[in-house]
Amino acid sequence: MDTPISALEGRWLFLASIIVRDNESFESALRRFKKVCEREGLLSEYRRHQHFEKPSERRKRKVLAARRKLLKKQAQRARYR
């Protein structure tokens, strides 16, 4: 599904792609492509690289993400007790 197109600074870049099925409408192919892009996180990656992010902002974002992940895990554990 992913095809590497080049290596930049040791990182591979991938293009999201789908194979259009026989007799598949454009709308359904576009819907499947959007799902692939969402699953691979392309839009969030694009938005994150749209503007320079200061190191302090990056640390703050990572701390908040870790806190959300911990709270989610605790909520799941509480559900099963």
In this predicted model, what pLDDT tens digit does every residue of 18-68 receive, in sequence order? 999 999 999 999 999 999 988 888 888 888 888 888 999 999 999 999 999
Give residue 42's domain range. Answer: 3-79
pLDDT (0 to 100) of residue 62: 94
- SS3 assignment, position 2: coil
Give the residue among 78, 1, 80 at the shortest CA–CA distance from 39: 1
pLDDT (0 to 100) of residue 32: 94
- Number of Cβ within 10 Å of residue 51's Cβ equals 7
pLDDT (0 to 100) of residue 9: 53
CB 20 within 8 A of CB 36: no
Structural domain count, the chain: 1
